[in-house]
Amino acid sequence: MGDQGQDPAPRPEAPAPVPVSELSEATALPTQQGETTTFVLPDAVVEGRGTDLVGTAASATEGIVGREELQRRPILRPGELLETVPGIVITQHSGAGKGNQFFLRGFNLDHGTDLAVRVNGIPNNLPSHGHGQGYLDLNYLIPELVETVRFRKGPYYADAGDFATAGSVSIDYADKLPSAMLLLEAGRFDFQRTLFADSMELGDGDLLFAFEAQHEDGPWEVEQDYLKLNGVVRYSTGNEAAGARYTALGYDATWTATDHIARRAVERGIIGRFGSLDSTSGGETARFALSADWWSESEDSRWDLTAYAYFYELDLYSNFTYALSDPVNGDQFLQRDERWVQGLEGAYEFSSDFGDVYAKHRAGFQFRSDIIDNGLFNSVRRSITSTTRNDDIWQMSFGLHFESEVFWTDWLRSTVGIRGDLYYFDVESDNDVNSGEEIDVLASPKAGLVFGPWADTEVYLQGGFGFHSNDARGTVLRDDPTTAALNDGDSVTPLVRQKGGEIGVRSTALEGLQSTLSVWYLDSDSELLFVGDAGNTEPTGATERYGVEWTNFYDANDWLQLDLDLAASEARFQDVNPDRVPNAVGTVAALGATVRFDAGHYFAVRGRYFGPRDLVEDGSVESSSSFLVNTHAGIRFSEDWQLRVSLFNVFDRDQSDIQYYYPSRLPGEPPGPDDGGFNDLHFHPAEPRSLRVALFARF
């Protein structure tokens, strides 16, 4: 059920029939053999971003990244695998065990809203989450097991539903390994990591298993004592024509967090740059999942079926305002989320022809149920003192999608699709006024045209409607739980309409260079979001975003690869003044170089520029920009032994991962104007220079 590429238009002359089972559907070529439609394709192996997608992609902003590039990137946190997607920035504003902060296409995506991510076919965004809508935690990823990262941007794909407006990403593990692997890694700030993975033939299939343990204190004055235990077992059988895959995983983590801190506390010498204003913030989380995939292909059709179920829990203690609400006990609060998630998805693909016009069709369904127990509590040193709200939620969604790709000529193909979604919300709150049920339905049409290829160049035109869901609690909210007033809550629209368009070009006309250029626009009817930190809703109004993206991957020769990705965007509220969208990403640049040596050694260096962002609506306060450089090297002693060295923040720059601007009150500080604290810049510093060394063995 992963993201799929699209089929090119040219029809080869008199090719030999090849069954679908021997082909990858991401690059299939339709043709006709008498009365039978088959698929013909040259062999393709995804090794890195160098995979040529001219003639196969539906847009300039979709792509595939393979194992080779993934294994040669410096990765500080597992979620940074997503930075292989051009234009994405991955940061952190709290402890290592908390979900990352994501930025893309003019969005501060917080912890995942409007960026849909699947891992091994399972949707990972968590709706109606205790900390934030669409919460996404990728800390359980094991980078060495990842086979491919597939990405698509924009609301143009019928099989991509909730949270996929800015983009969707599918991360897939390998089914088997060439040999057993053992990795022992250590580094600065008491970083230790051990990974053991292996696969073997078992019966008619392959059994893969892996176990990972990691500990890290980080540079913080309050040691984060992050401990992660992680395991995966997968059994796969069959082949591309027909088969099945069964996966089980377990993940558990605990940590103490250094949240973002007030700048004035550092300037006054109250704490250091890596200090904390609440040494008991932090959390614990766990995830246990089972999934199964089945598929089968024939000469002109294919079906896929995925079932999954998982248990997830998070207890997160945070304190962002210190002593603003409670000068005596402090403002620490606990956000709790515990849920069971079940889902079933299926898709059927088939082809048809009408004279010289050929078409491929894909129809499918997606069902998901989240049974959730979450709450918001006031706490002191991780002891609950009072309840802000506590809710039992059942959220169910059912989606149908259909898409047809028609090959009109050897230079024109079109895609037309539609998606329909039904959502049901049932909230039982500790305050009966905030209990209730809501149902919402939405239809989302999509369309696209591809012109070419001419001179190894294609032009794309796309448009479509998408959506994101709002928190179930927000849809039935009547009383704001943070105030004593009655009937002062603002309920939100369950499903928020979004629409966008894009024009793009993809070219491989210059030997070794793959380049894409796109201009895009995105309109959102509303960004009314439930704010888990406060237990109420925050109306932010309708917005529009637009921007340009330019990506380049250059195989200069057999030993040097270069890449450069540039993205610039604007985000504005509609019909509101001031109109700046706080923390919306503007300019992003990423550049890298990889040198490969004959003996199997390699050296990679990467730089990332994260531009300044407006922090308030009138643009009067702006974040600083950042530029970080990381390196990664591999030294191969033999086929079985390798040393890997990663150096992060090479120039040891004092920069911030994230910055916000809001009122807070330090312990012992006056209450401020109207008891509202003091507006200040709050930041989470980027980690200083650190070295990690790993011994990697195969046997």
The three-state DSSP-derived secondary structure of 323-363 is CCCCCCCCCCEEEEEEEEEEEEEEEEEEEEEECCEEEEEEE
pLDDT of residue 354: 87
Do 260 and 278 contact (CB within 8 A), yes or no?
no
CA-wise closest residue to 530 among 401, 391, 660, 322: 391
| Average pLDDT along the chain, 699 residues, taken 10 residues at a time | 37 32 35 36 50 88 92 93 94 89 90 92 95 93 96 96 95 95 97 97 96 97 96 96 96 94 96 95 97 94 97 96 94 96 98 92 98 96 96 98 96 97 97 95 98 96 95 89 65 92 96 96 79 56 95 94 96 91 94 94 97 94 96 95 97 95 94 93 96 96
Residue carrying structure tokens 């070529």: 29
What does the angle CA 165 – CA 168 – CA 174 come to, to the nearest 5 degrees? 170
CA-wise closest residue to 473 among 528, 422, 515: 528
Phi-psi region of 147 (alpha: psi -120 to 50; beta: other; left: phi over 0): alpha
pLDDT of residue 334: 96
What does the angle CA 436 – CA 440 – CA 441 come to, to the nearest 5 degrees? 165
DSSP-assigned beta bridge partners for residue 206: 201, 236
What distance in Å separates the CA atoms of residue 392 and residue 472, rounded to the nearest whole number?
Answer: 10
What distance in Å separates the CA atoms of residue 421 and residue 127, rounded to the nearest whole number?
Answer: 15
pLDDT of residue 39: 34
Q: If you count DSSP H runs as helices and E runs as strands, how many of each does the chain have, helices first?
A: 3, 37
Q: Is 110 helix (H, G, I), strand (E, B) or coil?
A: coil
What distance in Å separates the CA atoms of residue 541 and residue 492, rounded to the nearest whole number?
Answer: 11
What distance in Å separates the CA atoms of residue 57 and residue 448, rounded to the nearest whole number?
Answer: 11
The token pair at 640 is 């079985």
The token pair at 375 is 């709450």
Do 687 and 658 contact (CB within 8 A), yes or no?
no
Q: Is 665 helix (H, G, I), strand (E, B) or coil?
A: strand
pLDDT of residue 48: 61
CA-wise closest residue to 151 among 73, 287, 53, 245: 53
pLDDT of residue 47: 57
What distance in Å separates the CA atoms of residue 489 and residue 393, rounded to the nearest whole number?
Answer: 18
pLDDT of residue 50: 55
